[in-house]
Amino acid sequence: MSRALRASLVSLLLGSALALPLSSRAVTKSQFDLSERLEAALNQPEGNVAALKSLFTPEQFGGLEERYRLFSSRFPQLNWSVRPGSPTSDGRSTMQIAVKGTLQQEALSFFFYANQRLAVTTESGLIANQEILSDQAVMTSAKQSLPISLLIPDSVLTGSRYDVDVVVEKPLGNALLAGGLIALTPQQVLGQESPDIQLQPLGGGGLFKSVQAPFKSGIQTWAALLVHPEGVVSVSKQVRVVDHKGQLQP
């Protein structure tokens, strides 16, 4: 799986959560302002991080700059979108973040897109803490866009079984399809390591696996690879593993 794929929003905006109560669950003007400023900062030309730095506390921005520069250098043509979302059940503000980009490597062209829901807390108008509530990314080398659906839950209960399905929406007829799935360790995610994914023949509809969640709460991250006649598709998806049903919908 490409290292560029895992240099997605997970590695850019990774943080821990600190719950602060809000007086209302409605989206406030300050949330709109912060979302607009973050979107503008992320869409600055490559190497210009001053606007981004101005939105974070020094502690939060410490490891962000290098990862942001690396990600931007790998995908020089990026388009970020940031929108305020509904507060979490414990009162934290949320943002819906999306990014699209392209990459040219020799004769191959790659298209990348990712979506993330982020819970944030602020101090004096600066982002002080973050928690990734959902995150998924797809990169494809297909000559034409190949519709892919990720049927993977954002949150599951500890010890439960659930499905990890990567569905190819476009019929491939009699064409051969191969793929594989692997769970990434936290070290692999943070280190942007490229795991070896064993490929096996698949049915034409995609990759369908039943997996088990760990018996301890935390984060489970999956990486999948599909190889088909029109190109290669790499996928990453974060799954939150929680202890109680009330935590499934943050």
Spell out a b/e string for 124-136, using b for 16 or more CB atoms within 10 Å of the CB, else e: eeebbbbbbbbbb
DSSP state at residue 248: S
DSSP one-letter string for 134-182: EEEEEEE--SS---EEEE--SEEETT-EEEEEEEE-S--TT--EEEEEE
Burial 137-152 (b: 16+ CB within 10 A, else e): bbbbbbeeebebebeb
DSSP helix/strand/coil, 71: helix
14 pLDDT more than 60: no
Q: For residue 111, what pLDDT is reported?
A: 86
Domains of the chain: 1-137 (3.10.450.50), 142-250 (2.60.40.1080)
pLDDT at 18 over 50: no
Instruction: Tell me which of 23-37, 132-146, 162-176, 179-193 is least confident.
Output: 23-37
| pTM (2 d.p.) | 0.79
Helix (H, G, I), strand (E, B) or coil at 220: strand
pLDDT at 157: 97
Q: Which helix H or strand E contains 15, and what residues bound it?
A: none
Q: Around 75, how many Cα atoms within 13 Å sit in the side-chain half-sphere?
A: 26
Mean pLDDT of the chain: 80
> Given a cut of 90, is residue 152 above it in pLDDT?
yes
Give residue 6's pLDDT band: very low, low, confident or very high (50, 70, 90). Answer: very low
Does pLDDT of 13 surpass 70?
no
Rounded Cα gap, residues 170 and 80, in angstroms: 27
Name the residue with higher pLDDT: 140 or 15.
140
Sign of CA dihedral 198, 203, 206, 210: negative
Is the pLDDT reported for residue 29 higher than 60? no
Give the model confidence (pLDDT) of 194-243 as tens digits: 778 999 998 768 899 999 999 999 999 999 999 887 788 899 999 999 99
Rounded CA-CA distance 2/234 in Å is 7
- Per-residue pLDDT tens over the stretch 57-114: 988 887 777 777 777 777 778 899 999 999 998 889 999 999 998 877 777 788 889 9
In what helix (H) or strand (E) does residue 186 lie, and over which residues does it extend? helix 186-191
